[in-house]
Structure 1
């Protein structure tokens, strides 16, 4: 009886092991570019020549052919050709859908989510319900921490940020949305805000965005105060991008007014740090005053 139990246990272990090995290579097909991490802490990048339950064969730049035992593979994932530069994987830009704050025309993928903090006090949460629609919420907590009474009809400053987007090709993208702002102690929700449309040309790493918006207040569009946005991103290394975000206001009583954030973005795995300077200019002002800027975005979900 003991021997029978041992045989059954051994058989079950073998089945589980075979099933695990099959799961490792599930979805991997010939011609696919993959990144393989082995159990002995080796990493390989190559195109799949053949694959079965026991053996993965890769074409590798340092070898004519590389044979890897599936039982020794810890993880394997499909990667795009654009992620590999001179044999080194560049991590995906996790914040391709936003500049520092303003949106690009590139939409998030369904199931993706992220948290962003700007200048410590301003927070943003976003979630992609589909490949075409993202909903976000902006909020600050400083007013509550400094004494705002949430039980006395007090509301902190917050906003809803719906966005619709569509990619017409690998380089042409468009989006439209709104920032629906709720002002503390206001007699109504979403008393002010802005509606906007943006167009983006380029890839997730290198792009330029042109945007146009109209503010609204108490349900009325303020067409005499158009807002323009010109922004862009350029990735010059594996870990860093240059980001420029610029806003121009063309109100009659202000004349020309504008501000921008110019800086660097550090690209990590599922997160990025932003560092820059805020510059502003008003028509009657003789100069610009730089203000330090810092931001953090963490991506999760899909």
Structure 2
């Protein structure tokens, strides 16, 4: 019964993500009611009231109609027949239709990337169902996330709490650098009678490439209370968009003193605001591997803006 409920929720989530109505409604139009002539670096999605869509450019605006240029030719369209016009960057217009911006360029699976949220943006995330969190941007260079665990049968006083601040050092279309950290506490937990100390890591991270295909690398230094690990953990990962709604994601770590590399691979299914990750973590090297395909990774993210 639990398995059936899980797969029912998974199927419902994927249907919501791929719903064309949701994707169009959240395609971030310049102005769905205002018609303007676009420059050559942008194209427009012309949606008519009969449900048909055409990608092209408005080249002339009349009193009752517009002159719209597309691969079907140049045609006059009555304003009364237009339901919506969305202006998008030319590179977002693909042979299969409009590719909305990738909603999750600031994170791989667990690790962040060098890209930052824009001011006012934020998202709700949930890892393995038991680790919900919220992240928001106070500016284009500063964001803060916070979350806690929801272990069944455990009171709030014994849950895990964490904070994840991040500062963007350099941001551009293809090169991005950031520093940040994760600070976690587990009040009420103990090991052999000793309280678990606060712990976490500080990191520096960079991403290279456009939003739809980039590599990420970074160094992270772990700490527990005031005891810092002098050797860094090394991160190498990336994300590559395979289609309008699917991307490949990989996040790989080499921890100091470990004789193995923690590897991961999987797919990210997304709409214009929501995404669902299904991946696997495995080990490379070392004496005892996890075994193919690896430990499953599942998470869900909803972007507010």
In 2, distance between residues paired with 1:286 and 1:212? Answer: 25
Q: Deviations over 1:213-238 (max 9, x none)?
A: 111211342214x2111001111222
The verdict on how the C-alpha distance between 1:51 and 1:277 changes in structure 2, with shifts beyond 3 A counting, is same
**Which stretch has the larger CA shift, 67-76 or 186-195?**
186-195
1:88 equivalenced with 2:97 (yes/no): yes
1:280 equivalenced with 2:283 (yes/no): yes
- The number of aligned residues is 267
Match of 2:71 among 32, 37, 61: 61
In 2, distance between residues paired with 1:103 and 1:197? Answer: 10
SS class of match (1:103): coil
Match of 1:132 in 2: 141
Q: TM-score, normalised by structure 2?
A: 0.79
Match of 2:52 in 1: 42
The verdict on how the C-alpha distance between 1:41 and 1:160 changes in structure 2, with shifts beyond 3 A counting, is same
Q: TM-score, normalised by structure 1?
A: 0.80
In 1, distance between residues paired with 2:99 and 2:290? Answer: 36
Q: If you compute each CA radius of gyration, which structure gives the higher value, 1 or 2?
A: 1
Aligned-residue RMSD, C-alpha = 2.5
Unpaired segments ≥5 residues, structure 2: 1-30
Unpaired segments ≥5 residues, structure 1: 1-21
1:243 equivalenced with 2:252 (yes/no): no
After superposition, residues 1-302 of structure 1 pair within 5 angstroms as 24-25=33-34, 28-31=36-39, 32-51=42-61, 54-63=64-73, 65-86=74-95, 88-142=97-151, 145-148=152-155, 150=156, 154-185=157-188, 191-224=198-231, 226-251=232-257, 255-280=258-283, 283=286, 285-289=287-291, 290-301=294-305
Q: CA deviation at 1:87?
A: 5.8
Q: Kindly indicate whether the alpha-carbon contact (under 8 Å) linking 1:139 and 1:159 is maintained by their aligned counterparts in 2.
A: yes
The verdict on how the C-alpha distance between 1:175 and 1:54 changes in structure 2, with shifts beyond 3 A counting, is farther
The verdict on how the C-alpha distance between 1:202 and 1:263 changes in structure 2, with shifts beyond 3 A counting, is same
